[in-house]
Amino acid sequence: MPYRLIPRRLRERVGRRGLVLLLFGITWVVQGVSYFTLTDLFAGQPKLFPIDHLPLSVQGWLWIVSGVTSTFAALRPRRENDTPGFIAVSSMPLILCASYLIGAITYVLAGSRVWVLGALGFLAWAPIVLALAVVASWYEPPIIGHEDE
């Protein structure tokens, strides 16, 4: 049912895989912009995980670039390869998963309770990575009746 909330022309143009790329791509761009607009909120936070050692502007641009790449891949004709879009949209969640997992293991070995934050961060982002991998494997049926598409 929620799929029908998306305008029909857009659904037919991008397909289900493209729609996922488009929605996540827009979300990633917004996430990236937040790194620039909410700098005061993030400034001065402790650097607990490897990702925290990247400057906020670099993190913001990485989110934006992955989101824009995903969005452009979504808007290409359906018969074109959208693999670059799925690689782009999965890149930042994968980086976060790795960062949180490395941090969690490091803190467990150090005997610090901060490992819980790493474990929770990993458990929050890993399902997103897996969901994107599942969507990337979906078969996209051809457009019926649209030879010029």
Classify residue 57: in a domain, yes or no: yes
Q: What is the mean pLDDT of each run of 10 residues along the chain (149 residues)?
A: 70 84 96 89 82 92 98 84 93 97 96 95 97 90 57
Task: Determine the pLDDT at residue 144.
Answer: 65
Task: Determine the pLDDT at residue 66.
Answer: 98
Classify residue 72: in a domain, yes or no: yes
Classify residue 104: in a domain, yes or no: yes
Residue 14 belongs to domain spanning: 2-136
CA distances (Å), 15 to each of 19, 89, 96, in order?
A: 6, 17, 28
Q: Please tell me the total count of domains within the chain.
A: 1
Classify residue 148: in a domain, yes or no: no
**CB within 8 A of 72, min separation 6: which ones?**
25, 85
The pTM (predicted TM-score) of the whole model is 0.86
The residue whose two tokens read 């980086």 is: 95
Classify residue 143: in a domain, yes or no: no
Classify residue 147: in a domain, yes or no: no
Classify residue 100: in a domain, yes or no: yes
Classify residue 25: in a domain, yes or no: yes
Whether residue 109 contacts residue 144, with contact meaning beta carbons closer than 8 Å, is answered with no
**Rounded to a whole number, what is the distance in angstroms from the first to the last CA of the chain?**
25
Task: Determine the pLDDT at residue 124.
Answer: 97
